[in-house]
Structure 1
Amino acid sequence: MDSTPSTSTISKSVVLALRVLTFVFLLIALILIAINKGTEDTTNGPLEAKFNDFHAYRYMLSTIVIGFAYNILQMALSIFIVVSGKRVISGDGGYFFDFFGDKIISYLLISGSAAGYGVSDDLHSFFKAQELPFNSFFAKANASATLLLFAFLFTAIASVFTSLALPKKT
């Protein structure tokens, strides 16, 4: 009797591992962007910048929160599938939910990451020209955007596995 797990069991475990990695990266990105603020001394007193002062950072935070909520749902479903061997949503609907959900969320995550990188680069150049570098502020925002990019990559890889699980129609 062969005791090696089937490829189906391996792919379910891989998807669960990808979801856990996505969860970790989204959680750290959320913490970094939510607590991010910077202060620079000027002749008129200290100037403070917070993430919610900029629309692109608020968008990035929104994409993190939406991705986080979706990922928690998918982690719970993946754990149930790995443990019980059964799907919560029976029929083709569950497979399509996984596939399209992963696609939509991955696109949302990459757009949030791109928005964060774009505004950081533009604002850092602008503030540097004004001799207000805010280096720590932009470093934390870029770190959050980088973690969001990694979360996108893991979600995109998970979408490849969920596409392989789609029912084959003749």
Structure 2
Amino acid sequence: MTNPDKVNSISPPPLAAVAAGDAEGQTPAQGVGESDVMRRWKREDFLKKTSFALRSLCLVFSLLAFIIMATNNHGNGREFDDYEEYRYVLAIAILSTLYTGFQTFRQFHEISTGRDIIPGRNIMMLDFFGDQIVAYLLLSAASSAVPLTNHMREGADNIFTDSAASSISMEFLAFTTSAISAMISGYKLSKQSYI
């Protein structure tokens, strides 16, 4: 027979023995902890801010290319309207300004409020494909106008060709920032969870 007094004398382990904050008595797995989560959050925050900065730069460069080319009218056959290549540069600068203006506003809203204007996973696809398309259009427009500008500079180097070269340079810089932004968008898209 058992002594009923002895059975009741066994007491549960003291609460002080349980680790602080570990109410279930579990120990964290090795290699996974708060520091990994914090590094991931910091990396995602860094990517958001870098993408915002690159799109802001692309907006500035596109806007400058647009303004410089649109004001490149100096009379006597020296107007950008007379050349298809320069009209193409202007059109792509306008498209790039509109796209990057929208994306910059959207990202500023997301960074400042923590909520996205367009919810869902489709925004990552829009970011990636939009950045890719704009980058290729910018490169195409700038590349189409370089030979014409070089040919015109052989005859006479004047303010018209200098303005055209400045606009083309701004489009190349806009292309560079848009291409880097597209790489970041591609990285974010590849790290997206599909579950």
Q: Judge same fold: TM > 0.5, yes or no.
A: yes
More strand by share: 1
Q: Please say which of residues 22-31 and 78-87 is displaced more in the overlay.
A: 78-87
SS at match of 1:58: helix
TM-score (norm 2): 0.73
Counterpart of 1:96 (choices 125, 136, 141) is 125
Matched AA of 1:160 = M
The alpha carbon displacement at 1:163 in A equals 0.8
Q: Is the 8 A contact 1:16 1:79 kept in 2?
A: yes
Aligned to 1:158: 181
The alpha carbon displacement at 1:48 in A equals 3.4
Aligned to 1:25: 61
Deviations 1:87-135 (A, max 9, x none): 333332111011000000100011111122122113333xx1xxxx152
| RMSD, aligned CA | 2.2
Q: Please say which of residues 158-167 and 81-90 is displaced more in the overlay.
A: 81-90
SS at match of 1:38: coil
Q: Distance in 1 between matches of 2:151 and 2:183?
A: 34
Aligned to 2:111: 82
The alpha carbon displacement at 1:28 in A equals 1.4
Deviations 1:33-82 (A, max 9, x none): 1111335xxxxxxx331011101000000000000000111011111221
Runs (4+) off by over 2 Å: 1-5, 84-92, 122-125, 167-170
Q: Distance in 2 between matches of 1:139 and 1:51?
A: 12
Mapping of 1:5-44 within 5 angstroms?
6-38=42-74
Mapping of 1:117-128 within 5 angstroms?
117-125=146-154, 128=155
Q: 1:112 and 2:141 equivalent?
A: yes
Aligned to 2:97: 68
Q: Please say which of residues 67-76 and 160-169 is displaced more in the overlay.
A: 160-169
Q: 1:52 and 2:81 equivalent?
A: yes
Q: State how many pairs are aligned.
A: 157
Q: Distance in 2 between matches of 1:64 and 1:163?
A: 23
Matched AA of 2:89 = M
TM-score (norm 1): 0.84
Matched AA of 2:57 = L
User: Which ranges of structure 2 fall in alignment gaps of 5 or more residues?
Assistant: 1-33
Work out which of the two has the higher radius of gyration on C-alpha atoms and give 1 or 2.
2
